[in-house]
Amino acid sequence: MTLLTALQGGSGDSADALRISDGPGLSREQLLGAATAVADRVAGAPALAVLARSTAETVVAVVGGLLAGVPVVPLPPDSGPKERAHILRDSGAALLAHAAADTPPEDAGVAGLPVDLGERSATTYAEPDPAATAFLLYTSGTTGAPKGAMIGRSAVAADLDALADAWQWTAEDTLVHGLPLFHVHGLVLGVLGALRTGSRLVHTGRPTPAGYAAAGGSLYFGVPTVWSRLAADQEAAARLASARLLVSGSAPLPVPVFERLAALTGHAPIERYGMTESLITVSTRADGERRPGSVGLPVAGVRTRLVGEDGGPVPYDGESVGELQVAGPTLFRGYLNRPDADAEAWTADGWFRTGDVAVIGPDGFHRIVGRASVDLIKSGGYRIGAGEVEAALRDHPAVADAAVVGAPDEDLGQAIVAYVVPDGPVTGEQLTDFVAERLSVHKRPRRVVLVPELPRNALGKVLKKQLLADSAHG
Do 407 and 354 belong together in one domain? Answer: no
What tens digit of pLDDT does each residue of 301-329 get? 999 999 998 889 999 999 888 999 999 99
Do 320 and 219 belong together in one domain? Answer: yes
In a domain, 384, yes or no: yes
In a domain, 102, yes or no: yes
Do 194 and 331 belong together in one domain? Answer: yes
Do 208 and 311 belong together in one domain? Answer: yes
d(CA 174, CA 240): 13
Q: Which residues contact 297 (CB under 8 A, 6 or more apart)?
A: 282, 283, 284, 285, 288, 364, 365, 366
pLDDT of residue 100: 87
Do 141 and 263 belong together in one domain? Answer: no
CATH of the domain at 458: 3.30.300.30
CATH of the domain at 134: 3.40.50.980
What tens digit of pLDDT does each residue of 382-432 get? 778 788 788 889 889 999 989 999 888 877 888 999 999 999 999 999 999
In a domain, 60, yes or no: yes
Lowest mean pLDDT among 168-177, 194-203, 440-449: 440-449
CATH of the domain at 312: 3.40.50.12780
**111-115 and 219-222 as β-strands: parallel, antiparallel, unpaired?**
unpaired
pLDDT of residue 381: 67
Select, from the ranges 186-200, 369-383, 430-444, the one with the highest average predicted confidence (pLDDT): 186-200
**Would you call 3 helix, strand, or coil by DSSP?**
helix
User: Last residue of a domain, which of 348, 371, 394?
Assistant: 371
Do 366 and 389 belong together in one domain? Answer: no
Distance separating the N- and C-terminal Cα atoms of the chain: 55
**Cα 111 from chain centroid?**
30
Provide the mean pLDDT of the chain.
90
Do 362 and 399 belong together in one domain? Answer: no
Q: Domain count of the chain?
A: 3
| Whole-prediction pTM | 0.84
pLDDT of residue 5: 57
**pLDDT class of 439 with cuts at 50, 70, 90:** confident
In a domain, 163, yes or no: no
Q: What angle do CA 51, 53, 57 make, to 5 degrees?
A: 80
Mean pLDDT of 218-243: 94
Range of the domain at 144: 3-8+22-152
Do 240 and 302 belong together in one domain? Answer: yes
d(CA 293, CA 282): 13
- Which residues share a beta bridge with 414? 408
